[in-house]
Amino acid sequence: MVTMLLDRRTLLKGIGAAGASVSVAGLASASDGSVEYVVTGKGNGVSDAVADAGFEVFRTVADGEILGVRGPADAESDLSGVAGVSAVSRDVRLDFTEPVDRRVVDPDETDEEPAFAELQWDNRRIDAGEAREFATGEGTSVAVVDTGIDFDHPDLGNVNEDLAATFIPEDASATDGADDEVRGHGTAVAGVVGATGDQGIVGVAPDTELIPVRVFPDEGGARFIDIFAGIDYAAAVGADVANFSLGVPGVLPPQANQGGIRAAIQTVFQSAVRRGTVVTASAGNAGGNLQQGGGFSLPNSVPAAFSVSATGPNDELVFYSNFGTNEIDVAAPGGGYETLEKTLSTDTPFPFPTNLVFTTYPLERGAYVYIAGTSFSAPQVAGLAALVRELEPNAGPSQVEQAIQQGAELVNGKSDPELGAGRINALNTVESLAKKNGKNKKKKK
C-alpha cells in the first residue's frame, strides 16, 4: 500500500522560504542565564587564558582553536582582550523550516526492489547508476552532520551505529542518541548519499558507510559550537567525507565578513580538510547573488568548503539556490525548477511533486519524502566523493574535488556563477579514474 500525502501550501512555505532550510532560532544561552560565545584562538594556552579571565570553557574543538564559552552578556570586548583570542561571536541556534509532503510506504506490503527507483530523476541526471558499475563507495565512509539518521530504515542498513555521535546543548533532549526518529532532515540527506536500494531507493554510493553525527536535539535549534564539534568529530574518526547541509540563513552583508562565526567555520573546516576529510556544503537557499555587492553566505563562502548549488530535472539553476562567481564549486540536483510557479506546476515533464528529490525519511514520519533544497544537492556530491575515494583511497581532499570538477559537465572552466565547474556527472568522474588506474567494472550484485 502506498499513500501520497501532499500539501502544496506547506511546500510553498517551505521551498518559498528557501526549501528544507534553517533559520536563526535565537541567541544561545545556558539554563542558568549565562551567555554563550564562540571563541577562535591560536596557541595551546588560549583555553586556560579564557578560563583565567573568569569564563567557563564548556567545549573545545579543532585542537583547542575553537572554544564554546559561557559568561556574562556583552562580554565580547573582554574576551577579545584575552591573549591568543582572534575572534569572538555570540553563538546562535539554528532551526529548520521544512516541508512535510511525503510518500508513506508500508515495507511489509511492497516487494519491489527498489520500489521507487523510477522517481529518482536526480540519480539518472548524474548517471549514478552507470557510475556504480565502477564504484559503489565500498570501503569508504560519509559522516552526515545533521539531525541523525534513522537506524531502522530498510534502505539505510549501512549506518555505523558504533560511530554515531551526538552533540547538543546540555539542557536539550536527543531521544535514542543519533537515531533520527523526530526531525527527518538527516535521514533525507543520508538517503541521497548512500541509500542501499534494499527496499525503496538507491543513493549515489550505496556501499559507503554512513556515520550519523547529530547536532540537533528533538526540539529546538542547534548551536554553532555543536555543529563545529560534529565536523571535528567526523574528521577525528577518519570519515572520507563530511556532509554539511546546514548554514547561516540568507545572504550576509560585507560588514559581517569579519564576524567570529565565519572565522570559526573557516578554522573548523580547514582543520577537517587538513586531516583528509572532504567537506561538502550546501550553497544556501536564499536565491541570492553572491558575486555583487560583497555579500556572502556560510558555510559555502569559506574556502575549505566544497560548495554545491542546486539544479532541477532540466539542469537549470533552481530558483532558491544561491549563486555567484568563485562562490560555487559544482552543481548537483536539488529539486524544483527555475521558478516557484514552474516547480508547483503539473504541466511540466516532471510535474509537481516529481521534480523534487525523492529520498528516505524516518519510518515514524513516512519512510520516504519529496523534498528540495541545496541541502540535497550537497549530499549528491558527498556520495560521488565516496566513489572517488573508493577508486583512489589515498587522494587528498583537493584531489577528490578536482576529479569531481573535471568530470562535471554543461559549462567550460570552473567559474560559472550558477554551476561552478558544472553539474556533476558521476559516470564521467569515476570512469576517468578507473581507466587511469586500470580498473575494470565491478560485478553487478
List the chain domain ranges: 2-23+96-437, 29-90
pLDDT of residue 33: 82
d(CA 241, CA 79): 34
Rg (CA), the chain: 21
pLDDT of residue 315: 98
Mean pLDDT across 102-112 = 56
Please name the helix (run of DSSP H) or strand (run of DSSP E) that holds residue 193, with its range, or none. Answer: helix 185-194
d(CA 223, CA 252): 19
Residue 249 scores a pLDDT above 80 = no
3-state secondary structure at position 291 = coil
Q: How many CB atoms lie within 10 A of CB 17?
A: 16
Mean pLDDT across 20-38 = 76
Query: Mean pLDDT score of the chain, rounded to an integer?
Result: 86
Distances, alpha carbon 16 to alpha carbons 20, 98, 318, 367, in Å: 10, 10, 12, 24
pLDDT of residue 17: 33
Q: What is the second-level CATH architecture of the domain 29-90?
A: 2-Layer Sandwich (3.30)
Read off the pLDDT band of 293 (50, 70, 90).
low
d(CA 218, CA 26): 17
Return the DSSP state at 174. Answer: -
Told to judge if 80 belongs to the known catalytic residues of this protein, a careful annotator would answer no
**Three-class SS of 295-360:** CEEECCCCCCCEEEEEECCCCCECCCCCECCCCCCEEEECCCCCCHHHHCCCCCCCCCCCCCEEEE
Counting residues of the chain whose pLDDT is more than 70, the rounded percentage is: 84
Mean pLDDT across 167-185 = 86
d(CA 372, CA 382): 17
All 3 cell numbers of residue 89? 561571536
Active-site residue, selected from the candidate residues 101, 122, 127, 146: 146
d(CA 340, CA 334): 14
d(CA 441, CA 259): 48
Return the DSSP state at 132. Answer: T
Query: Which range among 144-158, 162-176, 295-309 shows the weakest confidence by mean pLDDT?
Result: 295-309
Residue predicted with more confidence, 250 or 321? 321
b/e map of 198-220 (b: 16 or more CB within 10 Å)? bbbbbbbbbbbbbbbbbbbbeeb
Read off the pLDDT band of 284 (50, 70, 90).
confident
Question: By the 8 A CB rule, do 352 and 331 touch?
Answer: no
Mean pLDDT across 250-274 = 72
Active-site residue, selected from the candidate residues 150, 185, 321, 329: 185
Return the DSSP state at 416. Answer: B
Told to judge if 146 belongs to the known catalytic residues of this protein, a careful annotator would answer yes
d(CA 157, CA 198): 8
**Preceding amide of 299 cis, omega within 30:** yes
Residue 199 scores a pLDDT above 70 = yes
- Taking alpha carbons only, the member of 52, 47, 35, 34 closest to residue 85 is 47
d(CA 424, CA 443): 24
Query: Which range among 27-36, 70-79, 179-188, 200-209 shows the weakest confidence by mean pLDDT?
Result: 27-36
> Could you tell me the pTM of the whole model?
0.91
Task: Report strand pairing: 357-360 vs 367-371.
Answer: antiparallel
Q: Give residues with Cβ within 8 angstroms of 293, minimum separation 6.
A: 254
Say how many residues make up the chain: 445
For the chain, the first-to-last Cα distance in angstroms comes to 27
Domain 2-23+96-437 has CATH 3.40.50.720: no
Told to judge if 29 belongs to the known catalytic residues of this protein, a careful annotator would answer no
pLDDT of residue 281: 92
All 3 cell numbers of residue 234? 567526523
Mean pLDDT across 30-35 = 83
Distances, alpha carbon 229 to alpha carbons 51, 305, 391, in Å: 20, 16, 29
Query: What is the residue type of 350?
Result: F
Task: Report strand pairing: 66-71 vs 21-27.
Answer: unpaired
